[in-house]
Structure 1
Amino acid sequence: MIAIERPGLKLRHGSAWLQGHGIATESLRQRLAQEVPWGQPLVRVFGRQHPTPRLTCWMADPGCSYRYSGQVQPITPWSPSIAPLRDLLEQELGVRFNSLLLNRYRTGDDRMGWHADDEPELDNQAPIASLSIGVPRDLRFRPRRSSLASAEAPFSLCLDDGDLLVMDPPTQAHWQHALPARARVRTERINLTFRLIQPSTAMQSISTRAAFGSAATSTQARAGETPSPNTSA
């Protein structure tokens, strides 16, 4: 894997990681589309409810539930297609992940706002492992102004079909990431983000969504309502 480092940021990017382990990604995408109980939760932004701009599912070990938009989300058991991926990641990274957030971006209109995965229930000494399946999409990164000098420039990383991205500590403490909308993308991407959480604190919200240079709630970012930075990265 290729290491990508900035002050306060440590990433590892493995291109075509799934294919390198003999996994046919198109077949996997089709199985996930069928076997995962996808949902589209409503979030309240500025007093109005909006559907989350993507489909989601939460898989986890018993006791690893979480609260989102005021509701406790049910735990979906590990599906037949996901369990082997968790085993492969454990062999690669030495971490037995106990939870997984699945996001299904049906077209380029689906998106994720700026956020850092730094909620207290996450083990902040463990990596977060992200697998991409389907059409390539750009994941954007920018420093959190409260912790890094403004000289650190935002940047984009194109995640292609089968890629593995590992976000190592202390990345979440100093950087945010987002998946912006792309009008020309008309096909699907499924993202699997494996996490290690502490079950005793798992009733918190799943992510902190803070705007770049202005206040924003976690709900706003989940609904894609956080402001975009003035940058071409």
Structure 2
Amino acid sequence: MEEQVDKLVKKTWEKYQETPKSKRLMIAVSGIPGSGKTTLAARVAQRVNDLWRDENPGLASGQIATFLPMDGYHLTRAQLSAMPDPNTAHARRGAAFTFDAPAFLELVKKLRQPLCPETGTIYAPSFDHAVKDPVAEDLPISATSRVIVFEGNYLSLGTGAPEWKEAAELMDELWFVDVKEDVARQRLIKRHVASGIAANEEEAARRADENDLLNGKDIVQGRLEVHEVVHSRDDAAWKAEEQGIDKERDQ
């Protein structure tokens, strides 16, 4: 996938340079669970920051790109329990209806507002995998963050809650990571066992089939037209980085 990443980094850097200083360049990376979208989004943000630091050697610790996962917009376990069918809500956690789409749209609208001298830091929620719930206002997005690379399952969704489509239409770029279902399934099984979400491969496979890949069908069938389709292919460097990101995310 390195060639595809190089192309996207180049495109992002060029679009950033063309973006007025009063605006942010906003990119949404989506795909089914196990597609590799998290690795792609994080890699692009990191490499854009590397390019910026190369041009600004006196600001070695600075950055202009922010990687922003939408995990923090999971509904809390208490909110799921308050739903009309709490058992289904908990069992299907990760489906589009178990996310706070209106709150995510509110964040996107804030980030879409013009940048000015008075613009302050905006905070997004993160997700604490130890307690299995979001953490409010945990991810800072400073006024100097001119490139936002969002990552999440439903960022190019045109069906379901209307807020998903509205948020997608506010993005400058929509990218979709395409992957074969059997490849995603094997990745998910390994991930669920390694993170302790599942006790063994049988339990992990059941979770993948009854939750992740069901959500994946909704993601594919409801997908809007996107600017870039990235075909997920493994190589040694990519797999090593993806495993590192998965480990960090699941801790």
Q: Do Structure 1 and Structure 2 share a fold, with TM-score over 0.5? A: no
Flag the structure with larger Rg: 2
More helix by share: 2
TM-score, scaled relative to structure 2 = 0.24
More strand by share: 1
